[in-house]
Amino acid sequence: MARQSSPPRPGNGTCFSTRGVTKVYGSGPAAVHALRGVDIDLPEGEMVVVLGASGSGKSTFLNIIGGLDTATEGEVVFRGQDISKANERELTRYRRQHVGFVFQFYNLMPSLTARENVALVTEIADNPLSPEDALALVGLEQRMDHFPAQLSGGEQQRVAIARAVAKQPSVLLCDEPTGALDSKTGIRVLEALKTVNDDLGATTLLITHNASIASIANRVVVFADGKVREVRENTTRKQPQDISW
């Protein structure tokens, strides 16, 4: 079955631009400064790998640009719109229309098949892929009617990716999607993410502790102590199957 055409993507523009973004949890002596002034510009359509130790602020950053959390101070602009000033209703609309999330844990409904898990998203999306097309995109054409318990960990993660991309998001945000997987399985998941980035043009951010994964990205962002320590571009990118785990 042919996939529906994806919505037009702005060419060579800026997807996200942040200035002075801070995030403080709590107050007084017990306050935790998760982000300490993040300034960064991320172009449309790229695959970006985000590296950093636990507690460096990378997951907090991902949650803020994804509309799951709000900054304490600073500006977060998505395609020219300042979402840091959005209310909860506006953030809900932003997440529904523009953002797909993939987490380390798959969060699939155990009583539903792969096809039915993906269909949960397509029923509320404006311009969705069919569940069948979304699962084919991640190489699960033959496993659509299997339940999560009948799938391997890597297959379950690919169902989660299919669910995230079925609504044809502008942005795909992945927090440690290979963290619970062995190298062979993790590479299959990275191949699926690259296919989504290539075929749908979704700006893709992938948080990982595994520095070797950085070689598949267009751009690498390194967080440390709540700040962006380094941003570098890969002039030559590796294919997922060519990286050393």
Q: What is the pLDDT of residue 156?
A: 94
pLDDT tens digits for 4-19? 434 434 445 999 999 9
pLDDT tens digits for 163-176? 999 999 999 999 99
Interacting residues of 150 by C-beta distance below 8 A, sequence separation 6+: none
Domain borders along the chain are 44-69+92-239
**What's the topology of domain 44-69+92-239?**
Rossmann fold (3.40.50)
Q: Pairing mode, if any, of strands 32-43 and 14-25? A: antiparallel
Confidence of residue 235 (pLDDT cuts 50, 70, 90): very high
Residue 244 has pLDDT above 70, yes or no: yes
pLDDT tens digits for 173-187? 999 998 878 888 899
Q: What is the pLDDT of residue 12?
A: 57
Contacts 24+ apart (CB under 8 A), 179-184: 179/104, 179/208, 179/209, 180/104, 180/105, 180/153, 181/153, 181/154, 181/157, 183/245
Residue 89 has pLDDT above 90, yes or no: yes
pLDDT tens digits for 112-125? 999 999 999 888 77
DSSP state of 143: G
Identify the CA nearest to 201 among candidates 2, 13, 50: 13
- Global model pTM greater than 0.75: yes
